[in-house]
Structure formats: C-alpha cells, structure tokens
Structure 1
C-alpha cells in the first residue's frame, strides 16, 4: 500500500462524519492521512432541527470531541474551490490548501429559499442550529402577541416542524401549507394517524396550492389566497453546493455528482460522492436524500476506499429503504415501514411505540460514531434484497 495516502473528506454532516471515522478505523496503522473539513465545530443533528425551532435545547456535540482518538485532522473552515488537476482543495480565504489522493465529497444539501420571491428575505429555514434558534426566538415573540405561524412544505420536515411548534405553543395558530397531502408517501392507516395528530394539535392544513410569494406577514398561493404569517418557516425545495460543478465534475441538472456503481465520480474516479451530494442510481430507481440512505453510502465508501488501497475488488453499492419515521411532537410519532423503493408496506407504528422508535433513529448517528471508533458498526438497515441484486447501468455523461 502507498504510504501517506491523503484522504480529504469535505463536510462533517451525517455522511462525512461516518465516512471519516470508519475510514480511520479501516485504515489504521497503514500510513493513511485523513483530513475532515467543516465550517462549524459543532456537529449538526439535522434530524432534530425542528426541536430547536420549537425552543428546545439539544446536546452540543463538538466535532473534535467526536473525532478524539481517531487520528483524523479536523480543519475548521469552508471549502471554496477544488482543483481536480492538482488535486487540491482551497479552504475559506485561500490561506489553506489541502492536497488529496482521494476526495470524499459529502457537502450535502440545504433548503432552497431562492426559487420563490420573498422566501429568502421573509422566511426562516432549518439549515443550521443557529437559524433554527433565531426562528425559536421569533416564535416566542409571535406566540406572546397571539400571531400566526405558517410552515411551507408538507413533507416530513414540514410536518415535524408544524407539530412540534403546535405542541410547544398550544393555542398558537399554526398552518401547514403544501402542494400534496401530508404523509402522501405513507400507507392509508399511517396517513390517517398523521391526520388525526395534526387535528389534535390544532394545525390547519392547506394543500393543493403552490406558494408563489412570501410577504412580511403572509404567503400568497397560486390560487390567489393570502395566508397570514406573522412568521414563516420554509421547508420545501433542496439546493446543493455549486462546488462540484465549478470544479468540472460531471453532475446532473440539480448539481449532484454523477457516480458509478461504486459511488465514484464518473468523470473523476479519485472523487467519491456520498449522501445528498451524489446522484445514486439503483436497479429500482434513484435514491433521494435522507439520513437513512446517506449513512449507508458513507459506510460503503469508507469500506470501498480501504479495500482498493489493499488491492482488493469492490462490489457495487446496494441499498433499500426500510422505513419513513416522522415525529409528531414529543409524545406522538408515526413510522411507516417500506419496500426497498420507499413505497409503503402494510406495517406501521404509531403512538408511544413510534416515539421510542423515532428517538432511537434520531439519536443513532452520534452513538454510531462513538462506537465506530472502537469497532466495526453498520449503518445499513437493508440492502434492498432482490430489488438491488442487479445493479443499474452507471451514468455515462452529465445531464
């Protein structure tokens, strides 16, 4: 094996942390140097942002503490450019330049507030603990004044935020706005429980109309209806960093890195993309960005890099969805179990059992990181069975 093989991991979210810590264990005592780059020293639990938004205080997990004992070098800063010819990453103002032999691109995604006029000015998003905390402060002011809260986006994040807010501030007027029915991806029984929970918490649901404008005190719908909003929380739409496209990596029309069956860039094989940053196609279709799918891509990539460094072959990535867990405040939740392609099975959980299940899911990543420093632990719940035994054709060109 080549000594001093340099691996740089960009992003210390769920996938970047998993990839870095597992790589450190898989390549210990081999001369491999691993550097993890992230603009914040705090590990962000994206699965819990709605709790901060409702005013709850969460544990402050520090990335250097989670990395202690791994030998990983942590660089505090944001990657601003990648030069694939010289294999270097520029961090922040250009004062820091990192050389790599292998790059793990794990920059993830964020809520996109740029596509609807006014959303970037008048709405909050849950892209960081700091922004979620600012929303919580504003929420307290709105609650004290008897105002209204409008959550835009009826996906899992919007549902969790709306129910968390309504439970934390009983009597506050909370409206959930979306183009589709909340829980549309779930089976009928799970969806019915979700609907009853929204009713119990007093959340008004408006679906079937797209938001066309966000105003200082309201949102406008394409139907012409104006929904009051003393404060607006935006949870719909996703954007990714332009860094990959700017570097010349082959990307799809959303900016995700096109990867082969082993999650390597089809244009730059020394670059591995994981989580929300990768356009991962399997036999049943393309995976969508969730922690459930992202963590297995990171685990697989760490193992694949370690195997290649030892001169071993690498099998194609396999993954299947297993569940759709949604919290409904602190005292309720619903878990829809799924087929590999994320379509619902008949089985589901609700109530207290679902709360315990969801808490295990939300707290799982940090526990895996700590255990992963001492032993090989798995983040993969399902490889998809027969649905993923035949790999999809790899991407051949940028879209």
Structure 2
C-alpha cells in the first residue's frame, strides 16, 4: 500500500467500483453517508414494496485498502486539495475521485418536490402502497426506463391499484419499433393507463395538471429526469450546460487534472461513440477503467461501446434491446421470460463486478 491520499466521493456504481480497484494497491478513503450499496437499477422493486438487495459497503470493500467514512461532502477547496464533510472534518487528498452521481430533477414544476415521491424515496412509496387502507390511483411521471420499470412493477405487485404513466413524449419512444410495441403490450396486459405527450405543469395532493388536462392520482411517483449533483459546479470544476464536469480522455477534470470525475457526474465524450448517457451501463465501466489507471495498469484513454439496453417489466417479463456501439437501435429484441432472465443476470452481475 502506498501513502498516496486518494479520496473517493460517492459509493454508487462508479465510485465504489473505482475504490475497490484502487484499494488493491493504494489507501483509499471512501466518503458516502450510506452503509449499504444503493442498487439504483432495482429501486423500482423497492418502490413496489419488494425485498431490497443492498449489500453492506463493509462487505464490498473487505480485503481492500479502503476506509469508509459515513459522511456527506459539503464543499471542496480545489486549491488546497481538501474535502469538507458534514461532520466538520476537512480531509486532504492527492487525488480526488468525484463520483457523486445524479439526483431527481424537478424542473421547477410547482408542487412536484412537495407532493411526489422521487427515486430517493422509493422505500416510502412502497410502504404507502403496501399499507394504504384502500387502494387508489398512482401516477408515474416519466416515460423513460425508470418510469416504465416503476409503472409495470407497481401494476404487477399491487393489482388493486390503478396505475397511470404520464410522459411528455412517447413512452419508450427511443426503442426500436419492436421494443416499443412490446412495452405497450405489457402495459396493456397489466392495465396501465398511458398518457403520452402530456407535460406536467403542476402537482398537488389530488394529482397532476398537464398540458393535456387534469390527471387525478392519490399518489405520484416522479421518474421524469435526473440531474448531476451541484457540488462540482459550486466548487469551480469546469462543467457543461447540464452541470456535468467536463473531463479529458483519462477522465480528469479539464480544469483540475488532480480530480477524476466518473459516473453520472461526468460529461464523457468517446470518439466513435459520442457523449455518454447517465446510467449504470456507463458508470461502472468508468469505475473499472479508473481503478486500472490509478494502479498503473493502463495509460490508455477511456474507451466504451454500447451493447444492449434492458428493462424489467414486472417479475415475469422484460425487454433486452440490442443496440449499436453508438447507442442507436438495432431492430432485434429479446422479450418475455428470456428478456427478464437476461436483465436479471446483468443486474446481478453488476453487484459481483463492484469488487
């Protein structure tokens, strides 16, 4: 173990993967308030009040030179190379790995933050669905992957609840024609009411106001968008218009090369692939690459190509959409049980790959 001070902010897919790999040869301090890994791609299961799958961080980092500090980063002094924590500590670093990821974006929609359940409150939503005196209507806002998985999971797990999905565009509109058709078939089978091209303009205790009219709901789940944590911009790292830190080919901040930025917090552009989207599929490969870079096992620029996009559609169905390396759609899909089992294998492999 070297005495080089490596501090990793965030224990998500990118941060935890980088920490365990760098911790094979260096002493690493991992800053994260949670004691268990937040398996975000399974949050729809938590929201449907199904059992959680969250391994303890202590178990993930066991046998590595990683010290976990259960705290939140509140500020960075980039000139002095220090991280300030909500415990009052100021930790120095030689190399900082910034992997604080993303959080729910409310887009200033009136009442959304007050009346809707975000992904961060998935367990609370699951409890409400499970313990309600009588079932009602739940509206899921967002026609992306998170919204689709959330709506189908809730509809299957709580059939007495009426589920509506509300999207500004087309639900699953980026998939191939076969992929979109399968999503719609599953939603029809599960009795999900689809409201497309309805932009939400307000949320209150009784439901949603949209550009297509009023949509009543007893509960609202917000899965419309994510945004990067603002600490990078506040500290003075160069960020893009969306607030993601701009990095070079080795995932170093273009303004502060002693800071590596990975995961949803980073604006990463790969030649031949393009600017990478947020998500586990891109975050964990960044963490693996950075672990190699920090331990001297590579000096090549980060490279990445897409292969598939996949969805859970309840416990008995799924969709695996084959894609080109630049994230554009191929016509081929796997659906039904084959799609579900493939998605489950990928998700389980994510936890295995953390070490």
RMSD: 1.5
2:97 counterpart of 1:104: yes
Q: Distance in 1 between matches of 2:152 and 2:186?
A: 8
Match of 2:29 in 1: 35
Number of equivalences: 354
Structure 2: stretches of 5+ with no match in the other structure: none
- Deviation at residue 190 of structure 1 after TM alignment: 1.7
Map Cα deviations across residues 286-345 of structure 1 (whole Å, 9 max, x no partner): 1110100111111111112222xxxx8722211111111001000000110101121111
SS at 1:132's partner residue? helix
Q: Distance in 2 between matches of 1:228 and 1:33?
A: 53
Q: Distance in 2 between matches of 1:45 and 1:114?
A: 25
Structure 1: stretches of 5+ with no match in the other structure: 373-399
| Shift in alpha-carbon separation, 1:71–1:313, aligned structure 2, 3 A | closer
- Deviation at residue 140 of structure 1 after TM alignment: 2.7
Map Cα deviations across residues 356-385 of structure 1 (whole Å, 9 max, x no partner): 11111111222113xx3xxxxxxxxxxxxx
Match of 2:41 in 1: 47
Match of 2:129 in 1: 139
Could you tell me which of 211, 232, 237 is aligned with 1:222?
211
Match of 1:269 in 2: 257
- Deviation at residue 141 of structure 1 after TM alignment: 4.5
Could you tell me which of 219, 222, 239 is aligned with 1:231?
219
Match of 2:12 in 1: 13
- Deviation at residue 114 of structure 1 after TM alignment: 4.9
Q: Distance in 2 between matches of 1:123 and 1:113?
A: 10
Q: Kindly indicate whether the alpha-carbon contact (under 8 Å) linking 1:114 and 1:120 is maintained by their aligned counterparts in 2.
A: no
SS at 1:265's partner residue? coil
Q: Kindly indicate whether the alpha-carbon contact (under 8 Å) linking 2:292 and 2:298 is maintained by their aligned counterparts in 1.
A: no
Map Cα deviations across residues 132-189 of structure 1 (whole Å, 9 max, x no partner): 11111212345x4231110000100000000000001113210000012222111111
SS at 1:246's partner residue? helix
2:308 counterpart of 1:323: yes
SS at 1:294's partner residue? helix
Q: Distance in 1 between matches of 2:172 and 2:37?
A: 29
Q: Kindly indicate whether the alpha-carbon contact (under 8 Å) linking 1:176 and 1:203 is maintained by their aligned counterparts in 2.
A: yes
Q: TM-score, normalised by structure 2?
A: 0.96
- Deviation at residue 347 of structure 1 after TM alignment: 2.0
Q: Distance in 2 between matches of 1:137 and 1:313?
A: 46
SS at 2:23's partner residue? helix
- Equivalent residue runs for 1:49-88 within 5 Å: 49-88=43-82
Q: TM-score, normalised by structure 1?
A: 0.86
Q: Kindly indicate whether the alpha-carbon contact (under 8 Å) linking 1:175 and 1:206 is maintained by their aligned counterparts in 2.
A: yes
Q: Distance in 2 between matches of 1:60 and 1:215?
A: 32
SS at 2:3's partner residue? coil
Q: Distance in 2 between matches of 1:219 and 1:356?
A: 35
